[in-house]
Amino acid sequence: MGIAAFDEATFAGTARFDNVTFGQARFRLATFTGHAGFSRAASAGIVGFGEATFSSTAFFGGATFGGDAWFGGAAFGGHAWFGGVTFTGNAGFGEAMFRGTAGFGRTMFTGAAGFTRTTFTGHAGFGEATFTGPAEFGDARFAGDAGFARTTFTGPTCFGGAAVAGTATFSGAIFLANVPLLGPLVCGETVDVSGALFEAPVTMEVAAQHLSCARTRWKSTATLRLRYATVDLTDAVLSSPVAVTAMPAPFSTTAGKASDEGMLCGHDPDVRVVSIRGVDAAHLVLAGTDLSACLFVGTFHLDQLRLEGRCTFARTPSGIHWRHKIWPCRWARRRTVAEEHHWRALMAGNPAPPRGWQSSPHHPDPGLAPGLDDVAAIYRQLRKTFEDGKNEPGAADFYYGEMEMRRHNRAGTPAGERGLLWAYWLISGYGLRASRALACLGVAMAVTVLTLVLWGLPTNAPMPHSVGSLTGGTIALTTESPDPVLTGPMYQRLTAQRAESAARVVVNSVVFRSSGQYLTTTGTFIEMASRILEPVLLALAVLAVRSRVKR
């Protein structure tokens, strides 16, 4: 149980120390040319493999290190297996090199676990490992995948400056300690924290193509500062406020330098949230994210979602389109949700997205498409979110979307109500399209002028007619106004003078004023209809302008 010193020793063949018990052991600068076996070995004191070289497989499965174990600067040319190992003291792998697979599955780290500036060329697996003390992976390099599935981090955890070329998997992992800053972590593919549990406050800084947070549980506050990532929050459990923030500039490492994002070169640095289904949005804050493909159906308390900064939504298709290959049409430019895109793509009946509407992943399966009632509810709740944020123009877009869904909903909207919605849409775009309301007002005024010229203005203004009687020096006069008379053929009625008179009548009717013009009986009814309809169109135009400029 003394000190076993093998410093700078060379083991040309297989070196087996299986089931050996050491007091202390030193293998500093040792070279293992063949297989190195330390299966179920045990040590009571310090064991040092600093700068040792393992040219072939190194197997430490089931070993127990009672004291500190140092592998700093060691080079593992083959596979290195530490599965089921127990490190009672500190475990130091700083600046070690793993060229093959590094297996630390079900390993127990009771003390500090140091992997600072460690390089993993192959797959690195820490599945179901337990880190009771600090877990240091600062500036570590993973050329392949990094697996931390179902790993338990009881102590502080650091991945500052770490880089993973493949996928970093933390699915089912448990973070029990307060993690002030998890990252910055740069990942070439996906960071998967689905099903993970964060018991204490955490701040994550991640630059990756994808971030999967499906069924992730946050028991305390969390801030996700992201770049490049496409984020999936499906069924995530938020017990406290969680903020997803898009960062405009690269993260800074602990040394004050910008993180190296070279593996993400060529990708869009914007952050896209693709799903918050099943999430309690009352605890969710989205800042500066792209929501153009985000799925909202099934979200709870969506009206309490907080949107900060510039959050973008999908837009309607631009340009002129042909309806039924006959009628040209142009979609009103507005913000939309992905579910409306999916519904319209499905209704077109084409296997490909029609006219710029984006289809869902399940297109064209109607059983998986959202219902119009669901989409209308999404628009209604998001409208409240924008109204609470004092963003009236944004709220107007979602009001328009809600009305669109109600107008097309044959099952949930009564026929009479749908008829009113069609008229409301046609004449003013639900009170949000000033140009449409003004165009309708202009058409209505022109039609009114024409009808008054043809049937409303009399040929000549009627002159008062007086009838009198003289009886014993007393004169009694009765004044009568004869009914206006319209005579003559149609072509004689179309004159500039009559058009001017008709225009005055119509302009006065727009502002609820009587023109005082003598009119025929038909003209009187025309003026009455004009005084009802045209002020309404003018009011709708004013309302539309106000909704676009109000802040």
Q: Using one digit for the tens of pLDDT, what is the confidence trace for 342-375?
A: 888 887 665 544 567 887 766 566 666 678 899 9
Q: What is the average per-residue pLDDT within 173-182?
A: 86
Q: Using one digit for the tens of pLDDT, what is the confidence trace for 312-338?
A: 999 988 777 766 666 777 787 889 999
CA dihedral 247, 249, 252, 258 (to 10 degrees): 150
Indicate whether 466 pLDDT > 90: no
Q: Which class for 257: exposed (0-12), middle (13-18), buried (19 or more C-beta within 10 A)?
A: exposed
- Interacting residues of 257 by C-beta distance below 8 A, sequence separation 6+: none
96-110, 287-301, 371-385, 450-464: range with lowest mean pLDDT: 450-464
Q: Bridge partners of 320?
A: 330
Q: What is the average per-residue pLDDT within 422-436?
A: 84
- Interacting residues of 431 by C-beta distance below 8 A, sequence separation 6+: 424, 437, 540, 543, 544, 547
Q: Using one digit for the tens of pLDDT, what is the confidence trace for 253-271?
A: 766 788 889 899 889 999 9
Q: Which amino acid is at 312?
A: T
- The helix or strand, by DSSP H or E, that contains position 382, with its residue range, turns out to be helix 372-388
Indicate whether 549 pLDDT > 80: no
R_g (Cα) of the chain, nearest Å: 39
CA dihedral 150, 151, 155, 157 (to 10 degrees): -110
Q: Residue 465: what pLDDT?
A: 60
Q: Residue 389: what pLDDT?
A: 83
First to last CA, the chain: 79
Residue 530 near residue 503 (C-beta atoms within 8 A): no
Rounded-to-integer distance, Cα 294 and Cα 272, Å: 8
48-62, 465-479, 494-508: range with lowest mean pLDDT: 465-479
Q: Residue 461: what pLDDT?
A: 61
Tokens of 257: 């330098």
User: Other CB atoms closer than 10 Å to residue 507's CB: what's the count?
Assistant: 15
42-51, 160-169, 394-403, 437-446: range with lowest mean pLDDT: 437-446
How far from the centroid of its chain's Cα atoms is residue 72's Cα?
A: 43
Q: Residue 260: what pLDDT?
A: 87
Residue 527 near residue 369 (C-beta atoms within 8 A): no
Report residue 479's pLDDT band, with 50, 70 and 90 as the boundaries: low
Q: Which residue ranges make up each domain of the chain?
A: 1-118, 137-312, 315-413, 434-463+486-549
Report residue 551's pLDDT band, with 50, 70 and 90 as the boundaries: very low
Q: Using one digit for the tens of pLDDT, what is the confidence trace for 193-202?
A: 999 999 999 9
Largest CA distance in the chain: 156
Rounded-to-integer distance, Cα 347 and Cα 258, Å: 48
In 3D space, the residue among 194, 199, 207 whose CA is nearest the CA of residue 179 turns out to be 199
Q: Residue 324: what pLDDT?
A: 63
Q: Residue 228: what pLDDT?
A: 95
Q: What is the average per-residue pLDDT within 125-134?
A: 95
pTM: 0.82
- Interacting residues of 532 by C-beta distance below 8 A, sequence separation 6+: none
Q: Using one digit for the tens of pLDDT, what is the confidence trace for 269-317?
A: 999 999 999 999 999 999 999 999 999 999 999 999 999 988 999 998 8
Rounded-to-integer distance, Cα 210 and Cα 538, Å: 50
Q: Residue 35: what pLDDT?
A: 94
Average model confidence (pLDDT) for the chain? 86
